[in-house]
Chains A and B, each alone.
Chain A
Amino acid sequence: MDRRWLLAAALLASPPAAFSQEKPPLRWGTDPTGGAPYVYQDAGGAFVGFEVELADYLAGKLGRTSVMTKADWDKLPLLLDKPAGDADGIDVVLNGYELRDDLQKTYTATAPYYAYRLALVAHKDDDTLKNWADLATPRDGRKRSVGVLNGSAAHEYGKTRFGDRIELAINPDVATVMGLVEKKRLDATVQDNPAAAYFLKELPALKAVGDPRQPGFYVMYVRQADKELAAGLDAAIKEGLKDGTLRRIYQKYGLWNGDQEWLCYNQTGQWPADEDAGEAPDAGGKANPWPRMLRELAGAAGMTVFLSVASFPLAVLIGLLVALGRVYGPGWLGVPLGVYVEVLRGTPLLLQLYFVFYLLPGVVPVLTLSPLQAGILGLAINYSAYEAENYRAGLLAVPRGQLEAALALGMTPATAIRVVVVPQALRIVIPPVTNDFIALFKDTSVCSVILITELTRKYNELYNFNREYIAELAFVTAGLYLVMSYPMALLARHLERRAGGGKTHP
């Protein structure tokens, strides 16, 4: 393992230079993937949305700067578990989270900032779906499929209200679900009305079914210890409701309605002041987005390369040690090393990354890793199991006579293995190891689940806000993977040719 890689990894993973202001920034967590109108990117690439403006307003009231942190929606509360001031943690979950009993056990909920309802959305062509009750009637002899966000109020409502009379399709991304309904691959979706309203406008093939129902509150969640922050946010929300600030923000996105007037009365004891309606949100300029998108993709590709070249040498090193232990180590060592290999080969990389990043800090606080550290370590450990098997095969393929000849010269077993057996084993396994390197290169995409913006995640982000280029973006992204992996295959072939030097055994 080259120590420079470790050093580079540590440097990249260290937090950016802290602001030298008195108050720390207000770090709020959100998932901008398919997140309109909450948080999304406009045509110029800037993050906009009613929650962005709400966060800016709240941070301003608290005298702090607003810093947005991105993560998968259903993982946001886990980021609160990191200590305050942690570069990868957040102070507030602010992303259309409902008031939920389970979350209130662990975190403190603020006063509600928005009153939503559940809206039912279906395809215009579907005449069999005219109201909520129609959901329960089968269509063409099969249950209707209804897309919902994992863990959302709509998810809960679908389960309790309709039970097994509908087929719930769970997905983490509103834009994806709406797209599936548009293509008639789902019969309907239940979404909070802000998202429903946005996509009904964007996708003309969709229709609203029945009236929104089942009202609920959006709240923010903070750490239970952050009492001061919770009180400050509560006060700022109420003030914003009373003085019309929230109304202006919501009107800009077409989200102000009677429910919000009730929310204001409920929270402040006053009806909101009458004001002129704000302007509709800016449709965005017609600037060519490609230079920006290509720049962002290239940056993300750099991260993909970095993850690969930082993790693979580590995987090879661990793998070789495990293989040596299994082939030449004492008998008792074989069992734990065998378990190591089988567990890591037999469980998904995705779960292993979740474990390293989200769960390990709870078990061993010292191992609180940054996303990049966790990504590199997770990939290295996962692939070390495959490399261990490669090297084990390689070590066993070296003829027994090689070791005997080295021992007969008076080398110690360790020296004989190091200077005679291992070099030959390394040559034998170059083809499968190359193969694994290219596989790992593509598997870096799984790191997106632990907040690393690499190529695949960047593609997801971009196409959500540039749906007209969805095919072009996919081709460009796939092309980037290809132009990066092909030279690596060539390099490996070159190494093979150089190392081979004819037959490996007389």
Chain B
Amino acid sequence: MIRVSNLVKYHGTHRVLDGVSVAFAAGQVVGIVGPSGGGKSTLLRCVNGLERFQEGEVAVGDGLALAGGPGAPPRDTLLRLRRAVGMVFQQFNLFPHLTALGNVMSGPVHALKVPRAEAEATARKLLDRVGLADKADARPAQLSGGQQQRVAIARALAVNPAAILFDEPTSALDPKMAAEVMRVIDDLANDERVPTTMVIVSHDLPALRRVADALVVLDRGRVVYDGPAAGAPPGYLE
């Protein structure tokens, strides 16, 4: 369970997030939509501590809370928050000097100190899960965009987070590759063995409707809708 309360975030004098309160239940799949510049990506980046915010709070599970304010947040809180909440980026951000397998192993090995052999076994299973078992030794530069994003999803899953945030995971891809990535996300969402909460920022509304249990609409830093996908106000959904 992730609970965002009254989150306020400024870029300079611009109030990007204007008191956002939203909750994502365990195992839930939530889509976030809204016009560009509405604060969708910023919200995700605040939730896993990549950006500071000025007011409000992000709480994950019981007893882990990051409060906004001036000054650097406590290191320990940040680390625990990031280990609990994974992230998949629009530009994939795979590590170009590592193979696909190395990318998926990097979190367990370097962040969780899992023994290499164990991490490798898990990583191979995850690559298989996203349909790339045969690309384990390929470098990111040798993979298509869709394949890279699938490796990135496997990498995020490898540290076993309570939630994964998808920041426009398909907008850098052509429609065919985007569909292939959404299929993987859909698979995971419907897989009972993967209890992970998923929060997906996307402009691909048809795909979101198919995957998401609920939709949140953000406009000018405010939540204007939070509920079942079917009930969302149509004006925001083109």
Contacts and interface: CB of A to CB of B under 8 A. Distances in A.
B110 A404 contact: no
B157 to A, nearest CB: 11
A402 interface: yes
Contacts of A407: 49-50, 82
Contacts of B152: 405
Contact of B50 (A408, A410, A424): A408
Nearest to B48: A408
A411 B95 CA distance: 14
Interface residues of B, number: 35
B237 interface: no
Nearest to B103: A405
Interface in A450-506: 501-506
A409 interface: yes
A505 B94 CA distance: 8
Contacts of A406: 95, 106, 110
A408 B91 contact: no
B141 A506 contact: yes
A501 B138 CA distance: 11
A506 B140 contact: yes
B148 A404 contact: no
B22 interface: no
B111 A504 contact: no
B97 A423 contact: yes
Given A410-B82, A410-B107, A503 B112 contact: no
Nearest to A412: B79
Contacts of A506: 91-92, 94, 96, 140-141, 143, 145, 148
Given A415-B111, A506-B94, A409 B159 contact: yes
B50 A404 contact: yes
Contact of A410 (B89, B96, B112, B140): B112
Contacts of B79: 410, 412
Contact of A408 (B87, B140, B141, B142): B87
A423 B97 CA distance: 8
B83 interface: yes
Contacts of A415: 110-111
B152 to A, nearest CB: 8
A420 interface: yes
Contacts of A64: none
A501 B96 CA distance: 9
Interface string B126-141: 0000000000000111
Interface in B70-89: 75, 79, 82-83, 85-87, 89
